Structure 1
Amino acid sequence: MSRKIRYGMIGGGRGAFIGGVHRIAASIDQQVELVCGAFSSNPERSKASGADFFLPAERCYGTFEEMIKTEAALPADKRMDFVSIVTPNHMHFPAAKLALESGFHVLSDKPATFDLAQAKELAGIVKASGKLYGVTYNYTGYPMIRQARQMIEQGKLGKIRKVVAEYPQGWLATMLENTGQKQASWRVDPAICGAAGCMGDIGTHAMNLAEYVTGLHVKELAADLTHFLGDQGRKLEDDGNVLLRFTNGAKGVLHSSQISVGCENNLSLRVYGELGGIEWSQLDPNTMIVTWLDQPKQIYRTSMGYLGSAAAAATRTPAGHPEGYLEGFANLYKNFVNHVRAVEAGTTPNPLDMDYPTIEDGVAGMAFIEAVVASSANNAAWTPLDYTPSARAKYGDATLNSDRGGLS
């Protein structure tokens, strides 16, 4: 296909945060163009937002239902190729369902859906539609994370024994939601955000990163969630600590917090195997520390020639130039769009282009949230995840981790 891939956006209009991130990320590689959108649940604000992006008035829709129906009726050389969903959580499922059933590929912000039941239903819809579905767990797009995953796939660290994932923030250490701050308000509202607050918002990122890098799945967990500001009216937890048991016998610890005063976006991951370990922090994303059983500690850096093919494919600039949050999102967009291009052209996709989170990851994230909430409500009892590798065929994902190939 000798043209840019066209996409429409649902959500992300005036006053939104994540929509701007997606638009910037999508544009970095100049492979995709925004051609339409339903940017707000308020039709007037949606159309005004579309005008901000210099879109034709007739492609700025009042609702996502109107957008999908109208776009589906356009000639093939005009209509959008896929939908980007950047709404609050409670609108992810209906928008994705309608888009898929109307013949459009979907790339959705995380979490995939409002709850696990919706995620399982969506997995079946993805399979039946034959369309591609991705969910933007964006930290999987960082070059050093791709490097860590490839090293573990190649067996360089040996059998994985221990995983430590942390994601502390401090921005909700006060009742920010009472000030009218939009991003805080919906993230602490269970009717919009879902059953979990901190764990649903950022804890799922830590869990997804642990599974992505190690190739393992969380089998069961024991969680202790706290509403530190519950006495002031906060309805969802703002801190949580979780013990993890993985499918291969590895053990893990996951800590997620939004009341850790002074912390910005302190996501970090440590993985220890029989032969070595890796340490990575989102605050210094170009660096990964590698430790060995019988060798000196090593420092790996983005863009260096000793890195593997996965990290190289996720890198754009020479060594020493920071690549981070926006580029991580951009790598997911690049891979997803290249996969769409191959599917639409009837060609075989490059295996590296299939490396983005799919509906499998979306269902796993929702299973994690459900298990965390259930465990904490039962005095941190060990609770199995209602989603295991053996359940994949049942839930119908067509693009499994094991099929993404070409990285080892």
Structure 2
Amino acid sequence: MQIGEKKIERPFRWGIVGGGKTSQVGYKHRLGAMRDNTSFVLTAAAFDVDFDRCKEFGKNLCMDEDRLYPDYQTMFAEEAKREDGIEAVDIATPNFLHYEATKAALEAGLHVICEKPLFFEVEQGEEIKRLAEEKGKIVCVTYGFSGFELLQQMRSMVTSGMLGKINMIDLRYAHGFGCDPEGDVKSEGQKWRVDPSKVGRAFVLGDLSTHTYYMSQMICPDQKLKQVLCDRQAFVGSRYPLEDNAYVLMRYEDGAVGRMWCSCVNAGDMSSQHIRIVGSKASLEWNDMHPDELHYQPQGQPEQILYRGMGYLSPEAQEDERLGALHYTGLIESWSNLYGRFAVAMDAKNRGDEETLKNLVYPDLEHGIDGIKWINACAESADKGAVWVDVK
């Protein structure tokens, strides 16, 4: 169990691009990064394309006005001149800005934490991978739900063989908060999400399903996706050619199969993410409405409910435990756990500690590239009339 004590020698001086007053994710990033005050310290920001709005927001966060910048280019250049300049940066902008901002950050010698989906094209991901290796820097992706402790418990049970051979992976991220078409116009954070020039080839497949897809990869690290078949719809017609609902079938290299339902028009449902892993001996099921409970269902035996914070869980599930059993967690604990791992990864990279990096479980650049492959394969399948396509 951790109680906020430092895991690295000192916190990283941290900047943020985007994530300002109109952002839907900026507050989550700040809370996750600074929850323990031992991983990151918010030092500089380019919160908004409107510099006056950026300065007003930064001052309301009690930041030094001299460390608030009109754009990320200026921030990287000016911070590089300072002995106490930022060492890591968060890219919390609309999707179309991720690639250029990440590239510029790496060229400025900064570690990067980037919102999902990472970029539009796999080639962009591969280029960033080469640049990150050249600069000796870490690129992390904020699949924010993946820091829940019981997902680590699922991974431990899968990799130890408790479920037997994995046969089926059943995934869902489907809520109803996109039912109102007026929301696309009224919300600053929603406008760009339904603009193909800013999000690429997909809406909910990139905005939602990449979270759950990564979580399934983390839980089942040996399952390699081979093919997908995607059928997608725009029930709010103004979103076409983007989708607000999609069904995806999956085939894995070892013969396992899966499916994903992704939607923002699942009216009235507040329990948005479900993960069910079915093996030859037993199944596991988790959903984000009850993140502190994991259902373990061995064939021919009574179902067991495993609770977060209990001593019978694996060491991996207890490592990031913050509150103890009976004290219920929320999404910010998950974000905080992720940011803690991001800081450990950056520190290990700085020290050349490849052993720590090899054993650390967090959404890294490779997983971000996998997310790009996922989105593009789904879009290609749907555009071809819901046919099987190879994931490449």
TM range (shorter): over 0.9
- Secondary structure in structure 2 of the residue aligned to 1:343: helix
Please state if 1:33 is matched with 2:31. no
In the alignment, is the contact (CA less than 8 A) between 1:338 and 1:349 conserved in 2?
A: no
In the alignment, is the contact (CA less than 8 A) between 1:198 and 1:258 conserved in 2?
A: yes
Counterpart of 2:213, as a letter, is M
- Secondary structure in structure 1 of the residue aligned to 2:208: helix
**In the aligned structure 1, how far is the partner of 2:241 from the partner of 2:36?**
41
Please state if 1:200 is matched with 2:206. yes
- Secondary structure in structure 2 of the residue aligned to 1:364: helix
Deviation at 1:109, TM superposition (A): 1.4
- Deviation digits for residues 141-173 of structure 1, max 9, x if unmatched? 111111001111111111100000011111111
**In the aligned structure 2, how far is the partner of 1:352 from the partner of 1:283?**
32
Aligned position for 2:196: 190
Aligned position for 2:4: none
Q: Which runs of 4+ in 1 moved over 4 A?
A: 232-235, 345-353
**In the aligned structure 2, how far is the partner of 1:320 from the partner of 1:21?**
24
- Label 1:354 to 1:297 Cα distance change in 2 as closer, same or farther (>3 A): same
Identity of aligned residues (%): 31
**In the aligned structure 2, how far is the partner of 1:288 from the partner of 1:168?**
20
Mean CA deviation greater in 316-325 or 342-351: 342-351
Residue from 93, 96, 104 that aligns with 1:90: 96
Counterpart of 2:318, as a letter, is A
- Label 1:343 to 1:373 Cα distance change in 2 as closer, same or farther (>3 A): closer
In the alignment, is the contact (CA less than 8 A) between 1:71 and 1:80 conserved in 2?
A: yes
Aligned position for 2:14: 7
Aligned position for 2:170: 164
Q: How many residues align?
A: 383
- Label 1:353 to 1:337 Cα distance change in 2 as closer, same or farther (>3 A): farther
**In the aligned structure 2, how far is the partner of 1:191 from the partner of 1:264?**
30
Task: Point out where structure 2 has 5 or more consecutive residues left out of the alignment.
Answer: 1-7
The RMSD of aligned alpha carbons is: 1.7
Aligned position for 2:269: 263
In the alignment, is the contact (CA less than 8 A) between 2:348 and 2:357 conserved in 1?
A: no
| Residue correspondence of structure 1 range 5-404 to structure 2 within 5 A | 5-31=12-38, 32-75=40-83, 78-215=84-221, 216-230=223-237, 232=238, 234-264=240-270, 266-345=272-351, 350=356, 354-386=360-392
TM-score, scaled relative to structure 2:
0.93
Deviation at 1:293, TM superposition (A): 2.1
In the alignment, is the contact (CA less than 8 A) between 1:92 and 1:114 conserved in 2?
A: no
Counterpart of 1:74, as a letter, is R
TM-score, scaled relative to structure 1:
0.90
Mean CA deviation greater in 311-320 or 38-47: 38-47
- Label 1:92 to 1:178 Cα distance change in 2 as closer, same or farther (>3 A): closer
Task: Point out where structure 1 has 5 or more consecutive residues left out of the alignment.
Answer: 387-408
Deviation at 1:350, TM superposition (A): 4.2
**In the aligned structure 2, how far is the partner of 1:38 from the partner of 1:353?**
33
**In the aligned structure 1, how far is the partner of 2:250 from the partner of 2:305?**
28
**In the aligned structure 1, how far is the partner of 2:190 from the partner of 2:244?**
12
Aligned position for 1:397: none
Aligned position for 2:5: none
Aligned position for 1:403: none
Counterpart of 1:324, as a letter, is G
Deviation at 1:206, TM superposition (A): 1.9
In the alignment, is the contact (CA less than 8 A) between 2:116 and 2:206 conserved in 1?
A: no
- Label 1:326 to 1:198 Cα distance change in 2 as closer, same or farther (>3 A): same
